[in-house]
Every structure is written in C-alpha cells, then in structure tokens.
Amino acid sequence: MATRGINPHNGGEENPLEGNKPQKENAPDAQNRRALGDIGNFVTVRGVDVKLPNRPVTRGFCAQLVANAQAKAEAENNKKLLDVPAPVAVNGAVVDQKKAAVNPKRNLVIEISPDSEEEVKMEERKKHYIKKKANSLTSVLTARSKAACGLTNKPKDTVVDIDADDAENELAAVEYVEDIYKFYKLIEEEIRLRDYMDSQPEINQKMRSILVDWLIEVHQKFELLPETLYLTVNIVDRFLAVKSVPRRDLQLVGISAMLMASKYEEIWAPEVNDFVCISDRAYSHDQILKMEKAILGHLEWTLTVATPYVFLVRFIKASIPDKEMEQMAHFLSELAMMHYGAAVMFCPSLVAASAVYAARCTLVKTPAWDATLQFHTGFSEAQLLGCAKLLVSFHSTAASADNKLKVVYRRYSNPERAAVALLSPAKSLTFAPSTC
C-alpha cells in the first residue's frame, strides 16, 4: 500500500494540494522534507492562481484561500463589465458608445425596422418586374410573322372563383364543395338509368310522361322543394328499371316515390292521407305503405343520388346568372325530366350543363360558354350541342296544340318565374348546327 507524505507543520494532517503520491521506501528523511519556497508554491484551482502563505495549510484554510481567490476574480470581472460604456440613442436608434467614438464622422444612423425591410424588398421586386428584357432579333421577327398571319396570342380566359362570396357562409361548405361534386360525378355513372321500357309490357314512354306531368302538378300543389321533385322522378325510373309494374299500379308507384322523397328532403313532409286524397282515393293507406316498402327493398334503400338538380344549382351559379337566366335553365331541365329519351340518353350532369348552355343561347348571352363554366361543369361547348338542341326542341313544342302535357309550360309562363316559357327558343340551336 502506498504511503503519503506528511507535512510536519500541519500536525501530521494530509495536504490535499499535494495529492496521494507514493514515496520511495529508501528515501532519507522523507517525513522531514519542506516545501520548496524558491519556486513560488503556486497552485491553480479553477482558473485562479492561489499563493500559499508561510504557515501550515490545513484543509479548512486551503478551502478559505480558494474561496477568497474566486470572490476576488469575480469582483474584478464585474468591475470590467461596469466600466464598459452604456449604449446611447442617436436619432432614435441604439448605437454603441465605443463605435460612436471610433467613427465620429458618421452622424447619420438609419434605423431599419421589419416594415421598412419589407418595403425595400417590395421596391426591389417592382424594379425587377418593371425592367424590360431586351427583345432579340429572332423574337421580333417571330412576332411580326405571327401578326402578319393573324396568329397573335389571344388573352386566356380566366376562371372566376364563384365561391368567393360564400367564404364566410358555413352552410355553403366552400372547403368541401369541389370534393362533393367530384363524388357526384363518380356515382352518377354507377346509378345511371338504362333503357328499361322494353322490359315493361304494359307501360310506354307516353304513360311515363303523363305520370311525371301529374307528379309536377302534385309537387306544385304541396309546395315542395325542387329537390323532392327530381328525387321522385329518379326513384320512379330506377324502380321501373328493376321491376315490372302493371298499368294500374303506375300512379301508385309515383305516389309512394313522392312520399319517400318528401321524407328525405322536406322538413314537414305530407302525410299518407294527403296522398290518398290527392289521388282521389284511388289507392288506400295500406297500399301506399306497402308499395313504399317494396320500392325501398328493390332500391336497397339508396336515396342519396346525383339528380340533374344537384348539378343544375352548381352550374347556374357558375354562369353568374340573373333571375331570367336561372328560371330558363330550370324550365329546360324540367322539360328534359318529362321526356323519357333525355332521361335515358344523357347523364344528369350533362343534362344540367346543357340546360344552362341552352338557356344562355336562348337569352343571347355572350359568350355562350366560357372558361368558368367549362371548368366547373367539365364539358366543352361541343360536348353539349346534342343535348342542348334536344332541349330547345322540347321548348319549341311545349306551347303547341298537339302537346297536352302543359303543366311545366304553364308553370314557367307565370310572371313570378319571369315568364321564360313565352320567350322564343334559341334559333342558333334550332336551325343551325353552329354554336352560339
């Protein structure tokens, strides 16, 4: 085991500053050695030089020396910090006193705040955009050639944000409206009607038109929402597509379909007894409920569908309409709903877009189809021509003497609906194949 050196001046206590150093066994007078005084006896503790006095050093006395030295060093540091001159304000800006003394000639100090930095950046951007690029000879010759050939670049049509005014309206669901209509576009193909008239032995297209004409009149009598009417006709068509119905039960199917649509869309739906009375008691209370259950079973309770009205509301909004324009689009859409061919040949979104396009052509709106309408409908003007011409032909024959189904015509001849049915059909879509 190693031995430790003992200082005779401190009564045999261990000197912590010398550490545990092993001594040689044969060293003479190992216990009587004195500390060398000619080399200063300096000990460095935590960056502080401590000089040992000429007296016995105990542990407590050594700790006191170290504490005093540290306190003195800290005091000197604080004194140096206090001697540093405080910053002064020059023209509202904080300037270091030393820097001001070194550069006495610079009297003007510019204060740059965050706002002024942004203004400087904006000025630089303006200068960057204002600065014109020098046109090369090739670009000049190309521009002259295009101008000579009539190929000058036309300004692109901008798409109007039709939902900007409804940004604060929570019911408009502006954040999700585009996704909603993308979903409607997907499901309309899944539930699109097929030609079912060949599978109905006792029903033809004319009977269907009579039924729809009567349902529109009942809808007007009960003062129901437009969504209810479109959903009613959709339920009738989908049920007839999967189930053969006798002629005597066709009106019963229409009554039960309107009862279901009213429960789905209306706040205060008509009761079963109201439909019993409106049908002149041709069907009983139990027959209506039984048919309602049968329809729901065959349709697998699927009532959330994309009708033409769902798209019509959006497309009318995209056309930035007036009252006359809006009523004309609804008039043409309801004419399409009455005719079996339009309901089967075209998908609901195409019927709605064609109704808006035909309405604009009828009212001679220019342009008849713009970038905003094409963006929100997803159809070009060329894609709408076939269906639009068919709708205009319905408008042309609506007031004829041969047409006995005039509920829609009388409804939109009312001044409350801008009497749009009395307007002349779009000549450009009736007589000429060209666009508006």
Give pLDDT, residue 385: 92
Same structural domain for residues 237 and 312? no
Same structural domain for residues 340 and 290? no
Record the pTM: 0.63
Q: For the chain, list residues with pLDDT below 50.
A: 1-30, 37-38, 40, 45, 90, 98-106, 108, 112, 129-134, 431-436
pLDDT in tens, 388-407: 999 999 999 888 878 888 89
Same structural domain for residues 246 and 289? yes
Under a CB-based contact definition with an 8 Å cutoff, are residues 215 and 233 in contact?
yes
Residue 387 lies in a domain: yes
Nearest Cα to 312, choosing from 229, 405, 220, 237? 229
Residue 29 lies in a domain: no
Residue 315 lies in a domain: yes
Residue 100 lies in a domain: no
DSSP-derived 3-state class of residue 42:
strand
> Which of 244, 275, 299 is where one domain is finished?
299
> Which of 277, 299, 321 is where one domain is finished?
299
Give pLDDT, residue 12: 46
**Chain centroid offset of residue 310 CA:** 20
Same structural domain for residues 313 and 417? yes
Scored b (16 or more CB within 10 A) or e, 193-221 reads beebeeebeebeeebbbebbebbbebbee
Residue 156 lies in a domain: no
Same structural domain for residues 317 and 414? yes
- Nearest 5°: phi and psi at 48? -120, 130
Residue 294 lies in a domain: yes
Same structural domain for residues 370 and 323? yes
Residue 313 lies in a domain: yes
**Chain centroid offset of residue 207 CA:** 45
Amino acid letter, residue 376:
H
Give pLDDT, residue 213: 94
- β-pairing, 88-90 vs 42-45, is unpaired
Q: How far apart are alpha carbons 396 and 412 in whole angstroms?
A: 14
Q: How far apart are alpha carbons 15 and 12 in whole angstroms?
A: 9
Tokens of 369: 């189809």
Residue 129 lies in a domain: no
The residue count of the chain comes to 436
> Which of 273, 299, 325 is where one domain is finished?
299
Nearest Cα to 421, choosing from 431, 434, 432, 410? 410
Beta-carbon contacts of 321 under 8 Å, excluding residues fewer than 6 positions away, are 329
Structural domain that includes position 316:
308-422
Domain count, the chain: 2
CATH number of the CATH domain containing 336: 1.10.472.10
Give pLDDT, residue 321: 83
Give pLDDT, residue 235: 94
Q: How far apart are alpha carbons 213 and 232 in whole angstroms?
A: 12
Give pLDDT, residue 150: 59
